[in-house]
Amino acid sequence: MFLLFCCVAFFTFIARMRRIYYILICLLSLVLETKAQQNNIEKARALYNAALQFKAKKRIDMAIKILNNLIKDQPAFPDAYSTLGQYYYEQHQYKEGVRVFRKALNSCPNGNKAFARPLTLCLLGDYKADSALLVINTFGNTAHAEWVMLQQRALYIQEALRKRLKDEVYNMGPRINTISPEMFPSLSADTQILYFTRRHNNMDEDFYYALPDSCGGWFTAQNMGHPPNTADQESAQMMSADGHYLFFTRCENRSENGWGQGGCDLYMSYRSDSVWSVPESFGATINTPDFEGMPCLSADNRELYFCSNRPGGFGGYDIYVSRFEEGLWQAPRNLGPEINTAGNESSPFLHIDGETLYFSSDGLQGLGGKDLFMCRRINDTAWTAPVNMGYPINSTDDENSIYVSLDGKKIYFSSDRDSMAGNYDLYETHLPKELQPNPVSYFKGFVYDSLSKEKLTYATIVVTDAKTLKPLYRFVSNRGDASYMITLPLGNKYIFEIDRIGYHPWLDTISLKQQNFQRPLEKNISMLPLDYVAPITDTLILTIHFPLNSIKLSDSDKAMINRVLEPWTAEKGIVFFVNGYTDNTGTPMRNEELSTQRANLIAHEIKNKGFDEVNIRSRGYGEANPIKSNDTEDDRYINRRVEVVIRR
């Protein structure tokens, strides 16, 4: 029995030791497995950090390679999916983004919550609206505004693809587009020069131009040089219809108090022949310490559209308009909630028909990002509801600027659809009839002396509707060659009145018919000299000269005005003509504004002296009627004057 007991005890001991051994083996295996997992996590984290370092060094290819290998080895590592998918999304490689986020959705804990939205965005970017709606309906929460917006976008893409426009969109090719972004296309009225903005090194922006070749394309674009380009940023240029004014955005504008002029402001440059003047700021009426940019001028040079994020708007960037009236730019007016939204409206382009406005927006319903829209003028302050220009003009990426040709049949625009986000190229396509502006034509010519045949600069041309007698446009013949160019809608009859100091007014009536659409008119205007001799009842009583760019009266100026006016205070019925003039530096438009402001200053002093405002007539003539040659500063100072003439 004792022997049996010993055997039982021995075997029981062996069994217990075996269990302990097995437990020890399991614990060791668990420790080793945990250690291996920790090592794998640390290795995965190290590889992930290496990928981020490659991205910081702009080695996106290496970063993507590492992350693809990482999610293959560690299929439940969510950070790798997020970063890799984001890379693909930013580079507009939406199919790859869909692949990554679908795998993340199925492989990561709570993947449906973390990756349903980025998967939806990639599907929408790839125009897979049906698949996107399936993800939204399966994983999304349509009680949240964000998911509602994604759902609406998917439905809009479905509709846009169903109503696809007929014509294809074409990249303008390597002579125009480069690895750098190209934006803000515009075309001269005769279609012979293409202008645009190019951004270098993702920082400096300059203006470029290209000339047409003989095969329907363009020669390699050239830098416009200095001026107007400088070491600072010049962007979003718009050429006036007559080709003499360049309006644009200039950034990095520092004033004495730091940024008082605003980080980005509107500037203009002028050329009378082939040389651009030194750009000038639009001044405080238009520019503020906030952003002002992307200007567009109406065909008559009297209406300026631009975008700004100044206080009082409806969202980010809004579109504003200012009119040039009585020689001055008026306070800008917001285009209102019919156009502007809580998002960003930018790059306004008013066609030379004066009735059709195109612009970019990310606040209106579209295919995604920024889309291009069109609306038409109802009256001076109201517009129709914006219309999305449809697919394939708009894409699921960004379209940020547009130009429509004179005949309204072709558009040029910028988009980043074929590259990474923000790397824009220029594209072209034909417009369907419903998106075209009203038919217009133009006529051009010179103003000259009918006797001496001398070219007459600074002649004012006023265009009036012959049916309603409503003044429509005001133009001035060019400073350099006395040329003019006027664009007008077809099918109407117009009255032209041309006025210039020293000449009889010239009147004519012109009808623009449908055939003028293809054959613009050339019309030279001859004016008869007035041979005017001032009557003895007209008397020049005062001349005040101004320092360069000054619009202030000194105390001595005011004292002189009071002294000269004193003898006339007792006379009744005196008419005062207050005429302002400048030298020929700066641009004609700015000079007209300066001369008007100076004349208004002195007219105000005359009014304060007790003379009837009805009999005080002030006007700025800009550079017209110089009394010296403008060759020296002394001569230019003499030309910067206001003359007060009385008529009894």
pLDDT in tens, 391-400: 999 999 999 9
632: Cβ contacts below 8 Å, ≥ 6 apart: none
Q: How far is the C-alpha of 225 from the C-alpha of 426, rounded, in Å?
A: 21
CATH architecture of 170-435: 6 Propeller (2.120)
Residue 31 confidence (pLDDT) above 70: no
- Cα torsion for 408, 413, 417, 419, to the nearest 10°? 150
Name 329's Cβ contacts closer than 8 Å, sequence gap at least 6.
282, 283, 285, 286, 304, 322, 323, 593
Least confident stretch, 111-115, 413-417, 577-581 = 111-115
Mean pLDDT of the chain: 86
pLDDT at 259: 41
350 CB neighbour count, 10 Å cutoff: 23
pLDDT of residue 381 exceeding 80, the answer is: yes
What is the chain's length?
648
DSSP H helices, 163-225, are none
Q: Taking CA 262 as the corner, what is the angle to CA 258 and CA 268, rounded to the nearest 5 degrees?
A: 125
Max avg pLDDT among 36-50, 112-126, 446-460: 112-126
Q: Taking the chain, what is the end-to-end CA distance rounded to the nearest angstrom?
A: 155
Q: Please report, for the chain, the start and end positions of each structural domain, with discontinuous segments joined by +.
A: 75-162, 170-435, 440-527, 538-647
Residue 599 sits at the vertex; the CA angle it makes with 598 and 601, to the nearest 5 degrees, is: 65
pLDDT at 74 over 90: no
Distances (CA, A) of 500 to 276, 404, 443, 475, 481: 25, 34, 20, 12, 15
**C-alpha dihedral (354, 357, 358, 359), degrees to nearest 10:** 120
pLDDT value, residue 488: 80
Give domain 538-647's CATH superfamily.
OmpA-like domain (3.30.1330.60)
Residue 527 has pLDDT above 50, yes or no: yes
Q: Is 574 exposed, middle or buried (0-12, 13-18, 19+ CB in 10 A)?
A: middle
Residue type, 400: N
Q: Which CATH number fits domain 440-527: 3.40.50.11540, 2.60.40.1120, 3.40.50.300, 3.30.1360.30?
A: 2.60.40.1120
What is 75-162's CATH number? 1.25.40
Average pLDDT estimate for 258-279:
76
Q: 173 versus 15: which is more confidently predicted? A: 173
| pLDDT of the residue at 274 | 73
What mean pLDDT do residues 169-198 have?
92
pLDDT digits 0-9 by tens, 279-303: 888 888 899 889 999 999 888 778 8
CA 182, distance to chain mean position in Å, is 13
| Per-residue model confidence (pLDDT) at position 170 | 95
Angle between helices 60-73 and 78-90 (to 10 degrees): 140
What is the pLDDT, as a whole number, of residue 258?
39
Indicate whether 328 pLDDT > 50: yes
pTM of the model: 0.81
What confidence score (pLDDT) does residue 142 get?
79
135-183 per-position pLDDT tens digit: 999 998 878 889 999 999 999 999 999 999 999 999 999 999 999 999 9
Contact 193, 187 (CB under 8 A): yes
The rounded radius of gyration (Å) of the Cα atoms in the chain is 35
- Token pair listed for 82: 């997020």
